[in-house]
Amino acid sequence: MNKTWQTRLVHPDARAPQGYRSLATPVYRGSTTLFSSAAEVTDEWDQERAGYTYGLYGTPTTLELAARIRELEGGRHTILAPGGQAAIALIDLAFLQAGDHVLVPLSVYRPNRVLTTSLLSKFGVSATFYDPLAGAAIEELIRKNTRLIWTESPGSVTMEVQDVPAIAAAAHAHDVRVVLDNTWAAGILFDAFAHGVDVAMQAITKYVGGHSDLLLGSVTVREEALYERLGAARQVLGCAVSPDDCSLALRGLQTLGVRLSAVEESALELARWLAERPEVEVVLHPALASCPGHRFWRRDFTGSSGVFSIVLAPGVSRRQVFDFVDALELFEVGYSWAGTTSLAVAYTIGSRPGRPAYDHRLVRFSVGLESTADLIADVERALAILHD
Ligand SMILES: *Cc1c(COP(=O)(O)O)cnc(C)c1O
């Protein structure tokens, strides 16, 4: 066909040479995915079954990340979401319906709790918030209409390590599914499926991304029936992920091992140092005996990451806690941990059934890749503020 130059802009004959090989996964951007014939057009979401049909359901870049997360977590299928919170919402919307009941730990990531109390309740799903240390006693809270038990271990901010196998055993005895938010362990330091979890999610935003520059989440399952429900829900919710973000996450995966080792060592050293300080009442680090549920960490985890909390000694004012955080020079103040820069955030934890109130005295740290000696010196300098 003879083409004008305007047409050639869209339909060129020019091509780059073939045969290029690189270590990097190419970024395939795409909404439209081409079919080879009119009869082949289909809106099937499962790209493993139907081949590529639409960018929302996957491109080679997004599906490579999904496949690699599935492999690392020992699942059979992984579906990506635009963020960790989107992955949480996808799970709830895929598996719950009006009349159902869900169990959620008191220590859950706060936006998960808010999703439950605001949106799910509007759609007729009821919830009970349970003591994260309930273990096998969770059975007493399971009702006829309970469909899901959320777990998050350790819990956000307050760091309780859960007895996930005991919870899973109780759940499965009543045909209830168990979901785990495995973000702290990067989907690696705790083997979700080996401990009875049915649905494992994590915020890829955190350790897999690792550089505070992307938002992604993942949901991994073993059972086909669970994959079908998640895939169908993802299709109608339109939870698309950016191939550019996935390519950053694929790069993050390559250094995840060395980053996790580095922050594990550094965070442990800082946590043990803090445990000796008179300004600190308790260190909530899963690998320290002072952390609630520490024995489950020792039994079930293969390591620790770089996030932990401290509770400052009684008598400290809220203003002093803020002054302490602001006096830190290397620890920046901000959400979304697991990047290369250390972070600190002050939290107020009121009284919760069965758990101590830490009030305004809790500070959560995310340890980054600065040298440990500098981080300790920074915290030591900032602690002096409490004596002013
Ligand atoms: C950050 C976080 C999420 C949410 O991830 P986003 O990608 O920020 O939406 C979920 N769960 C836990 C435990 C988190 O720390």
Chain segment 192-234, per-residue pLDDT in tens = 999 999 999 999 999 999 999 999 999 999 999 999 999 999 9
203 lines ligand 1 (CB under 6 A): yes
* pLDDT at residue number 301: 98
DSSP string of 66-93, one letter each residue = HHHHHHHHT-SEEEEESSHHHHHHHHHH
Chain segment 349-384, per-residue pLDDT in tens = 998 888 889 999 999 999 999 999 999 999 999 999
154 lines ligand 1 (CB under 6 A): no
**Portion of the chain with pLDDT greater than 90, in percent:** 98
Chain segment 50-89, per-residue pLDDT in tens = 999 999 999 999 999 999 999 999 999 999 999 999 999 9
Which of 114, 151, 156, 199 for a ligand 1 pocket mutation test, highest count of atoms within 8 Å of Cβ?
Answer: 156
Q: Which one is the CATH code of 38-250: 3.40.50.720, 3.40.190.10, 3.40.640.10, 3.30.2000.10?
A: 3.40.640.10
Domains of the chain, by residue range, sit at 38-250, 255-387
Q: What is the H or E stretch that residue 273 is in? A: helix 243-275
* 217 Cα nearest atom in ligand 1: 7
* 206 Cα nearest atom in ligand 1: 1
Instruction: Show the tokens assigned to 315.
Output: 């008598």
* 216 Cα nearest atom in ligand 1: 7
Q: Quick check: helix, strand or coil at residue 222?
A: coil
In this predicted structure, the answer to whether residue 310 has a pLDDT above a threshold of 90 is yes
205 lines ligand 1 (CB under 6 A): yes
Q: What pTM was estimated for this model as a whole?
A: 0.97
388 pLDDT tier (thresholds 50, 70, 90) = confident
Biggest CA-to-CA distance, the chain = 83
Measured N-to-C along each axis, helices 243-275 and 372-383 cross at an angle, to the nearest 10 degrees, of 60
Residue 31 phi/psi, 5-degree rounding, is -95, -65
Chain segment 121-147, per-residue pLDDT in tens = 999 999 999 999 999 999 999 999 999
Enter the CATH code of domain 255-387.
Answer: 3.90.1150.10
Beta-carbon contacts of residue 341 (< 8 Å; ≥ 6 apart): 212, 332, 368, 370
Residue owning the nearest CA to atom 8 of ligand 1: 84
The yes-or-no answer to whether 38-250 and 255-387 have a common fold is: no
